[in-house]
A and B are shown apart, each in its own frame.
Chain A
Amino acid sequence: MQSGPTISLTFIVSFGALKGFFPILQQGFFVRIMTGSSLEQVLTEQMGIEEGYIEKRISTIFLNGRPVDNLHGTLAHDGSILSLSAAMPGLVGATMRRKGTYASFRSAIAYREENDVGTRRKNEGLIEVKLFNLLMAELGPHFFKRGIYVRADELSDLISPIMADLRQGRGLILFGDRPVSADAVKEILKDMGPDLIQVFVIGQKDVVP
């Protein structure tokens, strides 16, 4: 990630248009966290997701592509990839569930923490987060409101299908705190290339009384 001041884009759009940003969620975005924390701490304390929701809804979790069974005993590191999914169909869907009945089927790839959870030093870092299926609609707005980081060149591709709507004035775009046009956004993202940009997406009902 680049050093220096954070560059941000804020999209204020209708609730219906929010879905147009969901491809970012399944492709992956970045979030700042205190690394060396357990996944349990990252999800609850740092990302603000309720414990009950995690237990009931986020039944499938991968860290670096490995299914995780123990959130308390697994650490997030700088550069980790954390993927979250609701319960999935199929034998393999059931197999990937946390502590699921058929978890032994994928024991060859299960995540095993090699560090001591209690003694790990904490530093600020970035992890990549992916949200799949039902969690896109349920957690996506939460992350969009808090702000996420996305590679500028990837963002340009991911939001291109909704830019036509934004060009026609359906929504407002802020670059920092300054309104900008959809065409200007395209240029900004092009100039930034692979650098990360902070992105907020806010539903109009959240800003219009």
Chain B
Amino acid sequence: MDKILRIDMGAEGGPKITESPVGAYAGLGGRALTSSVVASEVDPLCHPLSAANKLVIAPGLLSGSIAAMSGRISVGCKSPLTGGIKEANSGGQPAQVLARLNYAAIVLEGKPKEDTLYKVFINKDGAKIAEDKSLNMLSNYQVVEKMKGEYGNKIACISIGQAGEMRLSAASIAFTDMELRPSRHAGRGGVGAVMGSKGVKVIVIDDSGCSTRQPKDPEKFKAANIKFIEGLRSHPVTGQALPAYGTNVLTNIVNEAGAYPTYNFKQGRFQGAAKISGETYAELETKRGGLATHGCHSGCVIRCSGIFNDKDGHFLSKQPEYETVWAHGGNCGIDDPDKIALLDFLDDDIGLDTIEMGVTIGVAMDGGLIQFGDVDGAINLIKEVGKGTPLGRIIGSGAAVTGKVLGVEKVPVVKGQALPAYDPRAVQGIGVTYATSPMGADHTAGYAIATNILKVGGYVDPLKPEGQVELSRNLQIATAAVDSTGMCIFIAFAIMDQPETFQALLDMLNAFYGLELTAEGVAELGKKVLKTERDFNMHAGFSQIHDRLPGFFKTESLSPHNVTFQVKDEELDTAFNW
């Protein structure tokens, strides 16, 4: 991966494609690469939908090789939802395909002079771009079907649905999975709106004739990869729980802990949780001839995804993730697994972030637009977005906008981005991450990465309430580091508990690139990425007052444990003191 593909959408005479060496960005992948390009090349004060913003799509450092779990892809830009820097990532096939074509990144820049749509085709002979008005307002599934008709089945697609075309702030970018379905999404922050503003509807990539990327030291690399896979398979989370039930295995325990935000963050428990748990979905999937265990990209050994069929055995959606089931389920008082799967499909098809949509509908329910539990009303609201009606455009602009329009006080967002599925009153440490992450409220910004193995920060006694800010800081640094390798974040559990599995990951990187990277070096990279992102946000107008949870988390207690968010503002302000 030694070149960057740039497409200037606003060039004189039409979009202009150039290829250049990675240059100053050499050695970076995933989030490290997207955030570096955005920080270096985008004016922090620009309008996110203007020609001055750039959309960066970058596979991970080991994508395109035989390394397990290396199929993650990052998307970066200035976010139309938060107004700050954004990195959203996704699974699917495009990371592997793009890397085998030797591209470290695609950068879309400028803006077409006319309101039209383009498709990009990339293969071993290079990239081509063509205007195609027939793609206008097609959904993700429709546009991928059309591309299959034009280019065959051996492709991968990166596309936007109607939401991206309308440049709505909750728009996602879809990445096709192994079945060529646009079911994997870089969901957060409205990255799809930025792709829409560039006038690019779909990027079709075909790696026919390309071979797997080869490491500098094949023997060492192969041995490390085997050890890494063994570590993933032997761990109870990556080897058993995730393959058996997917991420939605969390529903029952988060609900049991009273940390499951219900009815727009009014309660910590949902009566219907067992009806929509991962255990229930897995049983339905197996019974209906779907799949409870399935990978979203080649080289995945965890296989936390699945295929959810309807009662007649026809494909309805991929296995909905925990966050999706929560957002459209418990948060809206809905306990019908089939209808939640349909909402998941509609989000994927129209190209919407499922977390943002579920929270937005919860806010709309709180505002009296429809009642909590009104599943058909929720489905209609998502369909309104796809149609582009005035109400649909409001909903598709996310929870903060919808809350303002409907006069709702309780709007669970940080930096304009909806909170994910863990109530920060019950799990206060994650509230620190929601508040302080440069990304806005994001559960993956401070993931369960092995701070001890990465040697980030000092020891924090797990059984004492003190030190939550320090721990959140350490987790954010460690997560930024792992995001920068472009590995699937679910490797976290195995590398957290098994130092030898983390060492195997380092050995893979070192054998591939001929490096001598250490745990400390990885942690330093994480700090650098976070600092870059914080600096961008500061220049975009963010200050400490934006590192706050909405006030109601401090004043309204959460049942069943009757807790409020207790971390003081002064403590939050120390989150990035290192």
Question: Which residues in A have some Cβ–Cβ distance to B below 8 Å?
Answer: 19, 22-23, 26-27, 57, 59-60, 62, 65-67, 69, 83, 85-96, 99-110, 130, 132-134, 136
Which A residues are CB-close (under 8 A) to B463?
A: 69, 99, 103-104, 107, 110
Once the chains bind, are B253 and A105 in contact (CB under 8 Å)?
Answer: no
Which B residues are CB-close (under 8 A) to A90?
A: 247, 250, 322, 443, 447-448
Which B residues are CB-close (under 8 A) to A57?
A: 236
Once the chains bind, are A91 and B448 in contact (CB under 8 Å)?
Answer: yes
Q: How far is the CB of A105 from chain B (nearest CB, A)?
A: 3
Once the chains bind, are B448 and A93 in contact (CB under 8 Å)?
Answer: yes
Q: How far is the CB of B188 from chain A (nearest CB, A)?
A: 16
Which A residues are CB-close (under 8 A) to B425?
A: 108
Which A residues are CB-close (under 8 A) to B230?
A: none
Residue in contact with A104 in the complex, picked from B242, B452, B468, B563, CB distance below 8 Å: B468
A89 to B241, CA, bound (A): 8
Which B residues are CB-close (under 8 A) to A106?
A: 257, 259, 426-429
Which A residues are CB-close (under 8 A) to B254?
A: 92
Once the chains bind, are B237 and A65 in contact (CB under 8 Å)?
Answer: no
A90 to B462, CA, bound (A): 17
A27 to B280, CA, bound (A): 11
Once the chains bind, are A86 and B258 in contact (CB under 8 Å)?
Answer: no
Could you list 12 further interchain pairs (A-B, Cβ under 8 angstroms) beyond the known A26-B277, A62-B257? A19-B283, A27-B274, A65-B258, A65-B560, A69-B463, A87-B237, A88-B241, A89-B237, A90-B250, A92-B257, A94-B496, A106-B259
Which B residues are CB-close (under 8 A) to A110?
A: 463
Closest residue of chain B to A107 (Cβ to Cβ) is B465
B249 on interface, CB distance cutoff 8 Å: yes
A27 to B566, CA, bound (A): 32
The 0/1 profile, CB within 8 Å of A marked 1, for residues 236-280 of chain B is: 111011101101011011101111000000000100001001111
Once the chains bind, are A104 and B460 in contact (CB under 8 Å)?
Answer: yes
Once the chains bind, are A134 and B426 in contact (CB under 8 Å)?
Answer: no
Q: Label chain B's interface by main secondary structure.
A: helix
B422 on interface, CB distance cutoff 8 Å: yes
Chain B, range 464-504, C-beta contacts under 8 Å to A: 464-468, 471, 475, 490, 493, 496
Q: How far is the CB of A86 from chain B (nearest CB, A)?
A: 6
State whether A109 and B257 are in contact (beta carbons under 8 Å apart), knowing that A26-B274, A93-B237 are contacts in the complex. yes
Q: How far is the CB of B49 from chain A (nearest CB, A)?
A: 32
How many pairs of residues, A versus B, come closer than 8 Å at their CB atoms? 166
Once the chains bind, are B250 and A93 in contact (CB under 8 Å)?
Answer: yes
Residue from B252, B283, B468 with most neighbouring chain A CB atoms (10 Å): B252
Category for how many chain B residues contact A: 35 or more
Once the chains bind, are B566 and A60 in contact (CB under 8 Å)?
Answer: no
Q: How far is the CB of A162 from chain B (nearest CB, A)?
A: 11
Which B residues are CB-close (under 8 A) to A96?
A: 253, 257
Which B residues are CB-close (under 8 A) to A86?
A: 236, 240-241
A60 to B247, CA, bound (A): 16
Residue in contact with A67 in the complex, picked from B237, B257, B279, B461, CB distance below 8 Å: B257
Pairs of residues from A and B, 10 with the lowest C-beta to C-beta distance, nearest first: A105-B429, A103-B462, A94-B448, A107-B465, A91-B448, A132-B252, A87-B236, A109-B561, A83-B256, A92-B422
A132 to B475, CA, bound (A): 27
Q: How far is the CB of A73 from chain B (nearest CB, A)?
A: 12
B446 on interface, CB distance cutoff 8 Å: yes
Q: How far is the CB of A160 from chain B (nearest CB, A)?
A: 13
Chain B, range 416-463, C-beta contacts under 8 Å to A: 422, 425-430, 443, 446-448, 451-452, 460-463
Which A residues are CB-close (under 8 A) to B274?
A: 23, 26-27
Residue from A85, A90, A96 with most neighbouring chain B CB atoms (10 Å): A90
A87 to B463, CA, bound (A): 18
Q: How far is the CB of A100 from chain B (nearest CB, A)?
A: 6
Which B residues are CB-close (under 8 A) to A67?
A: 257
Once the chains bind, are A88 and B429 in contact (CB under 8 Å)?
Answer: no
Closest residue of chain A to B279 (Cβ to Cβ) is A26
Which A residues are CB-close (under 8 A) to B236?
A: 57, 59, 86-87, 134
Which B residues are CB-close (under 8 A) to A100?
A: 462
